[in-house]
Structure formats: C-alpha cells, structure tokens
Amino acid sequence: MSKALVHPRVDAVGEATARRDGATFLAEVELRGASAAEADARREFAADVARDLALRPKRLQPKYLYDALGSRLFEAICELPWYRITRAERRLLELHAGAMTDSIADLTGVIELGCGSGEKLALLAGGMRRRARPLRVHLVDISPAALDLSARTLATVPHVSVVTHRAAYEVGLRQAATSPLRHGATLVLFLGSNIGNFHPAEADAFFRTVRRALRRGDGLLVGADLVKPEVDLVRAYDDPLGVTAAFDLNLLVRINRELGGTFDLADFTHEARWNAAESRVEMHLHCRRSQQVAIAAAGISVAFEAGETIWTESSYKYVPDAIAARGEAAGFACGEQWIDADAGFAVTLFRVD
Ligand code: TRP
C-alpha cells in the first residue's frame, strides 16, 4: 500500500481534529502490520484511557502497567529490599507448601490468576507431598511476557503440564474451570497481594466469581499484605531507587508510544500515599504544571492543572480476620491462615465445603 502515513498530531483546537487524527493513528498502527487482535486491544486501551482521564480525580487502569517493560520493572520491584511481599510469600510457600496442598484431597488442577514469574507455583507444586496424578496448571495473565516466563519456569517441574490463558482473571478463570480435562479437585491461587489491588466491592465480587467457578472439595489460596507502619507501607510503593516510580511512569510512556500521546515525562512524578481511612496505599502520577496533553488514538486533549494527579493503583492492606470474612461472605469456609509476622503478610486457604 502506497498511502502516505500522516504523523498523528492533536492540539487543543477541538475534538473533530483529534478524532480524525485518532483514526489516522490507528490506521497507521494497522498499516505497520499489527494483527487485528492487537488493533482491537489498542482500541480498547484508547477507549479506557479516554473514559478514565475524564473522571475526577483522573484515573488510569492498573492492568495497563504491565506491558513488556512494565512486567520487567515489576519483577525488579519484587527484588527491592523495601518491597517485602514477594519474599514473605515465598517463605510461607516454602515452609508450608505441603500443608497447603494436603488440605485439598485429590488435587489435580491448579489455576493461578495473575501468574507473575511462575516461581511461587513451582514452589507449591514442588512441595506437594502426595501426588497421585500429574498436575495440570492453568496460568491466567494479561501479560504475554509473564505467561512466557511462568511457563518456562514451570517446564522444569516434573509431572506438571501447563496451559496458558492470556486474559483478564474472570475470563481466564472461566476458560480454565470449564476445561473438559477438569477432574479431581482444583486449587485457585491468587497470590502477591493482588487481592489488595481490588476495591472492597470488587474484592467481594472476585470472591463470589471464584466461588461460582468452583465445586465442593476445591480450594482458593489468597496471599494478602497486612496493615503495618505507614513509613514501611509508603517506602514499599515509593522506593529510594525509583524503580516503582519508573513502573508507574511507564504507563505514560506506553500511552505515548501506543496511542500517540504527548505526555512530557519531566512534568510528572510518582507518589505513594497511605490512606488510613480506606486502609490502602494509593499510587498517583502528580502533574507539576498546568498543561494540555493530547492522545491521538483516544481522540482527546486533556487539561491538567498544576498539582493534579492521575490515580493509577491502590493496594489495600488487611488484617487477617478481614480476609477471612471476605471469603466467608462469598460462601467459602475459611481454613488455615499462615502468617509471616516479620513482614506482615498472610496466606489464607479457603475451601468449598
Ligand atoms: N499486588 C501487589 C501490591 O499491591 C503488586 C502491585 C501492584 C504493585 N501494583 C504495584 C507493587 C505497584 C508495587 C507497585 O503490592
């Protein structure tokens, strides 16, 4: 095709220009050879960004933090001395993998929602004491990089076969739970304090969704970070090396690259705040000076005031009883809780009785 490519440019002149340029931008993306699925994903990303930046306060959805670079940066966060969740959870899994898996009789399938690196699941599978049959593992993640890494990690664990689902939790869970190969009992893993990234009503809905996908004898294992002193909480999400800041700011880099945005990174800084009333750490991107930011593929030009923020992520912190109560409200029976008192982290087992 010989059509000349117009470089997307949007200014504050008006929506009509922005829309036309947005269409041009997406057409250009398709001409560059992106698949139809990629083009769909990009259109959805553009629509979400347009909707969320129109909210007060402005928002962006955390799922978009995890492109290839974002996933790598998240891996780096997990190594930071100030971010203790990953190591605390790993310790609990190393110590108690046998007890965790023993409590589900005839365990033949594991579904991990938000699989990360696959390392924790490898620990759990490796620590199973009774393994009557091979273990079928379903990995559900939005990030292809995370799925690849996890599948490679698990390839080294004997008797484990892996199915990957590049999907949001709910869709992937449905695919995995309705697999014709399902037999025996299933254990769903929701680790890394990902439950903390849901607002309370979403967390309740999540427990109900998992409960509906499971049958009697199945289980759910949830890792959740616990309330602790504010300094520790804030440092975990705003580290002195600036890795978490890079992770958060990469969302703007991604909008610039994929949606033709004009965010000037020098004007935005990462911020972590402890909101005690809501029991959550909030991550925001703080805008230093007033300006217009255009996003071609979203067909918008957005006004920012100095000091205004984009709220990108929340991480709710729990007390052990509150986690148990959430699961019980959805119809689960709360089994054992394993707690790392030093880091303040809990892994809770729920059963379907
Ligand atoms: N669920 C983890 C948490 O809330 C992971 C996470 C999500 C995270 N977003 C983050 C960690 C941003 C650091 C920074 O801690």
Identify whether residues 37 and 99 lie together within a single domain: no
Put simply, whether the predicted model's pTM sits higher than 0.85 gets the answer yes
Q: Which two tokens stand for residue 325?
A: 């109560």
Identify whether residues 249 and 302 lie together within a single domain: yes
* pLDDT confidence of residue 9: 35
Identify whether residues 203 and 222 lie together within a single domain: yes
The span from the first CA to the last CA of the chain, in angstroms, equals 61
Identify whether residues 305 and 199 lie together within a single domain: no
Instruction: Please state the separation of Cα 318 from the chain's center in Å.
Output: 18
Identify whether residues 323 and 275 lie together within a single domain: no
* pLDDT confidence of residue 2: 36
**Measured between alpha carbons, how far is 193 from 246 in angstroms, rounded to an integer?**
21
**Measured between alpha carbons, how far is 67 from 259 in angstroms, rounded to an integer?**
14
Identify whether residues 213 and 327 lie together within a single domain: yes
Residues 93 and 123: beta-carbon distance below 8 Å:
yes
Q: Is 13 among the domain residues?
A: no
* pLDDT confidence of residue 118: 86
Report the CATH number at residue 185.
3.40.50.150
Identify whether residues 106 and 249 lie together within a single domain: no
Residues 306 and 290: beta-carbon distance below 8 Å:
yes
Identify whether residues 34 and 140 lie together within a single domain: no
**Enclosing domain of residue 35:** 18-65+244-316
* pLDDT confidence of residue 284: 98
340: left (phi over 0), alpha (psi -120 to 50) or beta: beta
* pLDDT confidence of residue 144: 84
CA 315 to ligand 1 centroid distance, Å: 7
pLDDT tens readout for residues 219-260: 999 999 999 999 999 999 999 999 999 999 999 999 999 999
* pLDDT confidence of residue 23: 64
Q: Which two tokens stand for residue 281?
A: 């750490």
Q: Which atom of ligand 1 is nearest to the CA of 196?
A: 4
* pLDDT confidence of residue 26: 63
Q: Is 139 among the domain residues?
A: yes
Q: Which atom of ligand 1 is nearest to the CA of 193?
A: 1
Q: Is 76 among the domain residues?
A: no
Q: Is 70 among the domain residues?
A: no
Residues 314 and 281: beta-carbon distance below 8 Å:
yes
Q: Is 333 among the domain residues?
A: yes
Ligand 1 pocket by C-beta < 6 Å: which residues?
62, 77, 85, 192-194, 196-197, 237, 244, 247, 283, 313, 315
Identify whether residues 217 and 345 lie together within a single domain: yes
Residue of 197, 228, 244 to test ligand 1 pocket, by largest number of atoms within 8 Å of CB: 197
Identify whether residues 94 and 184 lie together within a single domain: yes
The tokens 């930046």 sit on which residue?
Answer: 53
Q: Is 12 among the domain residues?
A: no
Identify whether residues 310 and 326 lie together within a single domain: no
Identify whether residues 185 and 330 lie together within a single domain: yes
Q: Is 169 among the domain residues?
A: yes
Q: Is 47 among the domain residues?
A: yes
Q: Which atom of ligand 1 is nearest to the CA of 281?
A: 4
What domain count does the chain have? 2
The tokens 């007390």 sit on which residue?
Answer: 319
> Which parts of the chain register pLDDT below 50?
1-19
* pLDDT confidence of residue 299: 96
